[in-house]
Amino acid sequence: MTGLEDHLHGLWLPLVTPFQGGALDERSLRRLTRHYSTQGIDGLILGATSGEGMTLRDAELERLVAIVRDEMAAGRRTLPICLGLSGADTSRLKDRLDETADWPIDGYLIASPYYVRPSQRGLLAHFETLADHAAWPLALYNIPYRTSVNITNQTILRLAEHPNIVGMKDCGASREQSIALLRDRPKEFRVLTGEDANYFEALVDGADGGIVLSAHVETATFAAVYAETKRGNHDAALARWHEVADLTRLLFAEPSPAPAKYWLWRCGLIDSPEVRLPMVEVSSELAAAIDREIERRTKVAA
């Protein structure tokens, strides 16, 4: 697929990476891909934060992409794929762009450099260098509470002028900044929220969609929130949002993606809730709370 900017809207799923016995669980990955390909999502992010990308070896990441694309090719629906990349070394990220240039993807989601806390001029040069070099379009990932540096709107708007930078995942944690960006951005520059708990309000504010971990659960409802909002049916969208708003808190009650993996395991979509250190599986208390919520929702649906 080409033209990432044409697909960067709606509900995107940052797919979890299933593990079992310390290895990539390919059977569960195929099951996940088949399942979500039939749901109301508009694209997949692979190997980013929710996919525990920083723990994946290069060969595992390549295999991950190949399996997902293979399963989609065998099914009835092909979704766009963005590969999550991160790092604090611009030169090394350029190498990763070269190494992945012929992978069956549609673009990249690239987080700000973490730990080093570059200036805005440094961020501008970093992303422009990567965009100049990338074979595929890229979306920015602004998440200052993880990277310790915020990409200001002034810098984002400069980067939006680059023909190979087509949008961003907004986890800036400032509604004021987000609203100003949505007001001032070029029309073709896509902004998707990455803050699950703020999904509805971001759509109301004018975001083009969301990259929402919580949409692993009750996917159709999250998709309906987007669809109703875009139709201007805010009351209907709010009603659907109330059905899932509590999920966004439960699934982030402990470090993500462990709660979501536990839920998916309990529902049979993956064969193990395993995560990789330094992540750990959910506590017994949260596991019990998730079990209760699964049981409650099962009874409501019956």
Q: Which residues are catalytic?
A: 141, 169
Known binding residue 174? Answer is no
Strands 10-14, 107-111: parallel, antiparallel or unpaired by DSSP? unpaired
Beta bridge partners of 138: 108, 165
What count of Cα atoms within 13 Å lies in the side-chain half-sphere of residue 40?
Answer: 15
DSSP label at 127? Answer: H
Residue with tokens 């999550």: 84
Known binding residue 50? Answer is yes
Query: What is the rounded distance in angstroms from the CA atom of residue 40 to the CA atom of residue 37?
Result: 8
Nearest Cα to Cα of residue 67 among 116, 13, 136, 18: 18
Query: What is the rounded distance in angstroms from the CA atom of residue 181 to the CA atom of residue 91?
Result: 29
Nearest Cα to Cα of residue 191 among 163, 157, 219, 237: 157
Nearest Cα to Cα of residue 10 among 238, 177, 224, 178: 224
Question: Is 137:165 a contact under the CB 8 Å cutoff?
Answer: yes
Query: What is the rounded distance in angstroms from the CA atom of residue 216 to the CA atom of residue 265?
Result: 12
Token digits for 280? 């750990």
Annotated binding site for pyruvate: 50, 211
Binding residue numbers:
50, 211
